[in-house]
Amino acid sequence: MAERAAVGYWKDNFLIMKITDVLRAEHAVFHNLFDHIEAVAPRLKTLAEVKALAAVVEKVHAPHSQTEDDLFIEPLEPYFDQMGQQETFHAEHEHIEATLAKVQKARTLREAKKILLNAIAASRKHFDKEERIVFPLAERILKAKTLNELGMEWLSRREVEK
Ligand SMILES: [Fe+2]
Ligand SMILES: [Fe+2]
């Protein structure tokens, strides 16, 4: 029997959360990572260090944005249309990933730092928009049951052991 809780409900010893709360929790980790990168990047001395940091962001960002693309774009598409945001959401993911990938091609330390910090700034702006507009929109439009089902879908995508 599922037990209701403020943040979700328990099923088979798993707390089933709304997908929006799952994504907010992921965002919290990114905010810490971005704070760290912005603090240390100006002091880095080698191109390899900057590229390694960019690769870390790229690796964790890709599955996050892929999940948002797959789980959000379809149900929210008609509303993005109305808001004139139809292309923006997915395009911003691509822009962030392309910018992070560009760091790997940089020839100088200064160029690599600049591109990496641009990617972080673009991500922060994008995350902020999701937190202020997209997640609340999803919570208004989609049923609680659907948000929980998408949360379960996230669990299975992350291959969390049950
Ligand atoms: Fe996103
Ligand atoms: Fe996000």
- Please tell me the predicted confidence (pLDDT) of residue 75: 79
Ligand nearest to the CA of 92: 1
Q: Is residue 151 part of a domain?
A: yes
Contact 77, 68 (CB under 8 A): no
| 109: phi then psi, degrees, rounded to nearest 5 | -60, -45
Q: Average pLDDT, stretch 14-27?
A: 89
**Does 85 score more than 70 pLDDT?**
no
Q: Which residues surround the ion ligand 1 when the cut-off is CB under 5 Å?
A: 65, 68
Give the domain extent around 24.
3-157
Contact 139, 68 (CB under 8 A): no
Q: Is residue 84 part of a domain?
A: yes
Q: Is residue 45 part of a domain?
A: yes
For residue 12, the CA-to-ligand 2 centroid distance in Å is 27
Query: What's the total number of domains in the chain?
Result: 1
Ligand nearest to the CA of 25: 2
Digit-coded pLDDT (tens) for 35-68: 999 999 999 999 999 999 999 999 999 999 999 9
For residue 13, the CA-to-ligand 2 centroid distance in Å is 27
- Range with the lowest mean pLDDT among 37-41, 75-79, 132-136, 149-153? 75-79
pLDDT confidence of 72, banded at 50, 70, 90?
confident
- Please tell me the predicted confidence (pLDDT) of residue 132: 94
Contact 30, 60 (CB under 8 A): yes
- Please tell me the predicted confidence (pLDDT) of residue 5: 45
**Does 104 score more than 90 pLDDT?**
yes
Q: Is residue 15 part of a domain?
A: yes
Nearest Cα neighbor of 23 from 144, 134, 122 is 134
Question: How many angstroms separate the CA atoms of 66 and 111, rounded?
Answer: 28
Ligand nearest to the CA of 73: 1
The mean pLDDT value of the chain amounts to: 88
Q: Is residue 18 part of a domain?
A: yes
pLDDT confidence of 14, banded at 50, 70, 90?
low
For residue 80, the CA-to-ligand 2 centroid distance in Å is 16
**Does 126 score more than 90 pLDDT?**
yes
Q: Is residue 55 part of a domain?
A: yes
Q: Is residue 162 part of a domain?
A: no
Q: Which residues surround the ion ligand 2 when the cut-off is CB under 5 Å?
A: 130
For residue 51, the CA-to-ligand 2 centroid distance in Å is 22
Q: Is residue 93 part of a domain?
A: yes
